[in-house]
Amino acid sequence: MTPAEPHGPRRGAIYRKPDLLVVHPTHESVQGVALAGSPVLRVPLPATDAEIGETIRRALAGWRHDVPQPMHGPTFGEEFLGVAGFGSWEALQDGALYCVFHEDGGSLCFEPWAKSTGESYEGFGAAQEIVASASPPDAIGAAAMRALARAR
């Protein structure tokens, strides 16, 4: 049983730019809303599967279920984008592949998503990559990269 199970599975996401991965947890606000948050971890590419797997574990370790609900407005997400190294959501998402991941029980699941209209991504029914949560970092990183290879 993971520490997050009383509040749901720990979640995160990965943006893949041509020369960089941006990995982060997707926190749960006190109102139950999913929010991209810290730690925002940058992995220059190329990177080993083990480096990627360790980064994913660090993102999951930072997951929280009790973050305050932010107010939407012109500054929403600025801190996240600044740490990620991008000036806007458009700059982060331009040309980026995306997958979400979650740890549920003893499994870590990676789901490729597709760019939709506007500034968002959505699931499109692609097969998930699933590994045991206790897998070595290289197996976790390889699963994430296989999922990103199927993202659109």
Per-residue pLDDT tens for 52-69? Answer: 999 999 999 999 888 887
Per-residue pLDDT tens for 84-140? Answer: 999 998 999 999 999 999 998 899 999 999 998 776 899 999 999 999 999 999 999
Provide the token pair at 146.
Answer: 């296989």
Whether cis (ω within 30° of 0) applies to the bond prior to 70 is no
Whether cis (ω within 30° of 0) applies to the bond prior to 9 is no
Domains assigned to the chain: 5-150 (3.40.1590.10)
Q: pTM for this structure?
A: 0.90
Q: What is the mean pLDDT of the chain?
A: 89
Provide the token pair at 103.
Answer: 């740890």
C-alpha R_g of the chain = 15
Q: Is the pLDDT of residue 1 over 50?
A: no
Per-residue confidence (pLDDT) for residue 6, from 0 to 100: 52
Of the pLDDT bands very low, low, confident and very high (cuts 50, 70, 90), residue 7 is low
Residue with tokens 């190294």: 85
Lowest mean pLDDT among 2-6, 28-32, 112-116: 2-6
Q: Is the pLDDT of residue 28 over 50?
A: yes
